[in-house]
Structure 1
Amino acid sequence: MKGKVKGRFFRLWFLILFAIICAIAPVAALATQTVSVDTSLLNIRSGPGTTFAKVGQATAGQQFTVLEEKEGWLKIQLSDSSTGWLIKDYVKPALLSSNPESPKDPALGELVINGTQVNVRSGPGTTFSKITSFPQGTKVTAIDLKNDWYQISWSTGQGWIASWLVEPAPEKEATDIPAEQGIQGEVVEDLPPGQPEGTDVQSLSWNWTKTGSGIKITVQGTQPLGYSEKILAGEPKILLEFAGALKDGSNTETIDESGITKIEAKAEKDCSALVVYLSEEIPYQTGLSPDGCALTINTAYSGDMTYSGPTGKTVVIDPGHGISQSGDGYDPGAIGAGGLHESDVVLDIGQKVGDLLTREGFNVILTRPGRENLTLEGRPQIANEACADVFVSIHCNASLNATLNGTTTYFYAPVGSSLEEQRAVRQRLAAAVQSRLLEGLGRKDLGVREENYAVLRYTTVPSILVETAFISNSEEEVLLSDEQFRNQVAVSIVNGLKDFFSETNG
C-alpha cells in the first residue's frame, strides 16, 4: 500500500513539474524574441493600444527585445531600461545570434557619418552642448554606446553622436601590409581632424556678403569639408577650424556692421581657421551644400532689422501642441527618433519670437504657456477676441517617410467661403514669412501651401501655420535641437512679419 501511495505521489509531482515546464516554455521563448521595426516610423506607446500615450518613436531597422504580447501589441525593452509597446503588425522577427544567452555587444569600432552635417555633443543626448560637427563621409571611432548615442573619438578629441546618423564603415579588403604602413613601408600620416579620406589636397577660399538680416559667410573647398565649430567665451567670436590650406593664406578683413567687427583667416600647413569677431552674441546658422564642399554661415542681427512699418500691432503667437485638443492633457506633438518633442521645440521658438517682437514695439500674446485647459478651437479664439492683426501658429513637420525635409508655410482662405476676402492678405503673409525662413535657414523650399487646418479655419484675422523643419528627419531633428537654429527660426519669422506689415501699410 505504501509503495502504491509513493508511486502515485511521484507521478503527481511529475505531472505538476511537466505542467510548470509547459507553462514557462512559451514565456521563456517570448522573453528572448527580438523583433525589428518594418516601417519608416513607428510609435512607441505606454500601453497596448492607440489610446495610450506616445512615449517615443522607432525607426526602420531598430531592434527590440520582446517581454510580453497582448492583443496584437508587443511589450518591449527600451535602451534606458524602461518599457513600451509596439503594434505587432509593423515588426518582423530579427536575426538572433547563435548563442542567445550571450547577446552580442554593440557594434563599436569605425563608423561613417551618413547625415549631411552631424553635430557632436558633450553627452549622449540633444540637451548636451555641441562640441563640433562633421560632414557626410567622415570616419570616426565608436568606443561606447549609451541610450542610442555613440561615444566617438577622432584625432583631436572625443564626443557623442546619435546612432541613427552613422553607419558601420565598409570592411577593407584583406591585406598583408600593416595598418600603420604604406606600400613602401612608409608610415602613413593621419588625416587632418575630421577630413574624409581622399587623394586630392583640400584647398579653401572664403568670402562674405550682406543679407537682409545679417551677414552670409561662405567657405568653399575643393572637396567635402571637415571642420569643427566653437563659440568662444569672453570676447564673443565664432571659431571655425578646417582641414586643408587656405588658397589666399592668412588675412584679416574689417566688417564693422551687422554685429560683426572683423573676420580673420589663419592658414597653417595642413589646417586653417576662420575667426568671426562679434560686437555681441548674435544668432547664426551653419549649413553645408549638397556636395559637402561649401559651408555657409548666416548671421541674424537685430540691429539690422530696420522697420518702417507701424508699431503697436497685435500679434498672437501659437506654439503648437503642448496641450491636448480637448484641453485636458499633455500633447507632445511629433517625437523625433532622438526623443525630441515638437511641443518643447516650438514653445522655445515661440517665446523667442515674442521677445523679439516686443522689443520692436509689437503687442504680443502667446497662447501658451499659462493656459492649462486650452482647446484646439480655443487657440484661434484668443486672436479673434483680441482683434489681433495676425495669428502665427508654429510647428515642426513630421512624416512616416523619414527622408522628407524642408520648410513650409500654410494659409487657408478658400474661394467661396467667408474667409475669401482675406485670401490675398493671408497668402501674402505666408509668402513673406516663408521667404525669410528660406533665407535664414537654408532648408529645402516646400513652398507656400493652402490647407484646412483648424487654427486657420477658425481665425477671423489673417493667420498662417509655419512648419519649420521635419522632426522625423534625423538631420533636421538635430537642427531643431540646436539653440542657434531655433534663434535663426525666430529671427526669420520676425523679419517676415515686419516685411508683411511694412508692405501692407507702406
Structure 2
Amino acid sequence: MLHHKILKVLLAFVVVVVYVSSEPMLVIKAEQTAIINTSVLNVREGPGLSYALVSQVKQDEKYTILEKKNDWVKLELSSGKTGWVASWLIKEESTNSTPPATQTGSSSTIVSTVDGLRLRNGPGTGFQVIGSLNNGNEAEFLENRENWSKVSYKGQIGWVASEYIKTKSATNDPNPKPTTNKTGKITASVLNVRGEPNLQGRIVGKLLEGASVKIVAERENWIEISFGSSTAWIHRDFVTTSSSSETPETPEPTPLPQKPVNEGKTGIVTASSLNVRDSGSLSGKVIGSLKQGDQVTIEEEVNNWSKITLSNGSKGWIASWYLEVKADNSTPPPTTEESSVKILYNGTNIRTGPATTHPVAARANEGDTFTIIKTEGDWYKITLPDNKIGYVAGWIVSVDGVGVIVERPGVNQYLKGKTIVVDPGHGGNDSGAVGATGTFEKEITLRTARIVFDKLSATGANVILTRNSDSYISLRSRVSISHYRNADAFISIHYDSTADRSARGITSYYYKNIDIPLASSIQAEMIRNTGFKNRQHRLGNFQVIRENRNPSALLELGFLSNPTEEYTVNTNSFQENVSNGIFYGLAQYFKGR
C-alpha cells in the first residue's frame, strides 16, 4: 500500500514537471521591425478596422513590432505610443539577425546565342520591343519567369526569350585593370560623364569636344576614364581612342549647376499620352496623365525626369524626353549623346511625315539603323542617306541610346493605371490541393500569379500580390487588401481537385452581378490561349469574392487530381499560355467598361 502511495506521489511530481516544462521558455529573439509598405497607413487602438485611429505612418518608415494578433501587428511609434496596423500592409525584417553572406566577385550574366534577340518591356511576344542583342552580347540576369528572362542591357531593363540565351558566371572586378598607353578624345560637343557605366548612372560632370582623356578600363559600350581625383564613365560612341606613350592631363570635372538648367521653364508634352508618376522613374506609381500639347512648368529635373505641379495641386514626375523645353538663350548647348533606331522588319515604310497618311519616302530592311533627330508623337524623325529626312513609326523599331521609346497602345492602353489585386490561393500551413503526383496547389498558384504580375506591371497597371512567398494570409485579409487598395479587379488564382481523376478543364467563378463580365472575359481568353476544356463561368459561394465589394473572380486553372492535367499545368508553356489568358481577359474586361 505504501509503495502505491509513493508511486502516486512520484507520478504527480512527474506530471507537474512535465506540465511546467511544457510552458514556453523565455527566449531572446531577434528584434522584428515593420517597414510600412503603402503610402499612408492608419494606426489603430486595437487589432481590427473597428478600432479608433490613433495615428498615421508613411511608406518606408520603420517601427519595432511589439506583438502580433491574427492579421494585425502592434507597433512602438516614435512618439512613445503604441498602435496596431494591418500586417498585410507592412514588410517585416529581423534587425538583430545575422546578415546574409555578401557575395563577392561574381554575378549572373547571360549571353545571347542568336543575332537580333529582341529585348521587350514585358514577358511576352505582345510587349513592345525596346532593344535587341546580337550573338555573343552579354547582359546582367535579374530573374526568370517561365519562358522569359528579365535582364539589364545597356542601361535598359527588359525581357528576352530564355531559349535564346545561355548563362555564365561572370567575375566583376571592382577595380578593372588599366588599359596601358591608351587615350581618348571627345567627339561630342558636350558629353555627360557618369558615375556608373549605364545611361541611368549619376551625371558627375561634363566634357567638351576635343578634350583628351586617359582610359583606365573598358566595359562593353562604356569607357572608364581618370576624372579629377577619381574615375568615371563615358559612352564609347563619343570618344576616339588611340595608343600613345604620352599621358594626357586628367580632366578636372566641369562643375555641375546647383539647379537643373530647365528649372522654372515651360515644357510642351510631345507624346500622345504621358503618364505622371509619384517618383522620377518608370517604377513610380502612375498618379495622372497628360496629352500631347499640354504645357507644364518644370520645378526640378533629376536624371532625365522633370517634377511638375498638376492642376489639382499635387506634385508629380514625368519623363523629360517627352518634353520640348521652350527655347532660352541662357540654355547651355545640349548634350549630344545621339540615339538611333534599328528597323525590326523587312520592307518597313519610311514616310515624309509623322503619320501613315503621308507618302512613303523610302523602304528599309531589318537591321538598318538611322539617327534620331527628334520624336514627334508616336513617330521618330530620322536622318536618311544623302541628308534627307524621314519618319518611322516608333512601335516597329528598337532604340539604341538615350532616346525615348515609343509604344503602340494595343491592349496596354486598357490596363494602364488600373489597380489589380492578384491573389495566389492558399500558402504557408495551408497547402491547398495536393496533386496526383504531389504538386502543392499553394506553390503553383504563386508561380502563376508572379508571371501575371509581371505581364500586368509592364503595361503600367498598379498590381498588388496578396502574397509573394509561402506565407499564410487569411481569407478576410485578402478581401481587406482589395478594399484598402480600392481594386478595379480582384483575381484569386487556384487549381482544382476532385475524387474523380478524369475531371478536367478550367472554371471561373463569380458571386455578384458586377463579377460576371470579369469572370466571363477571363474565362474566354484562358480557354482560347490554353485549349483546355471549357467548364464555363459560374456562380460560386467563395468568401474572397462573396465578401468583396469590388469586381472579383476566382479562377480554377485545371485539375491537379487528373495526372495528365497535373503534368500539363506544371509545364512552362502552360504557365505562359494561361497567364496570357488572364492578362488578355483583363484587357478585354477593361476595354468594355
TM-score normalized by structure 2? 0.32
TM-score normalized by structure 1? 0.37
Report which structure shows greater RCO (CA 8 Å, sep ≥6).
1
Considering fraction of residues, name the structure with more helix: 1
Structure number with larger C-alpha Rg: 2
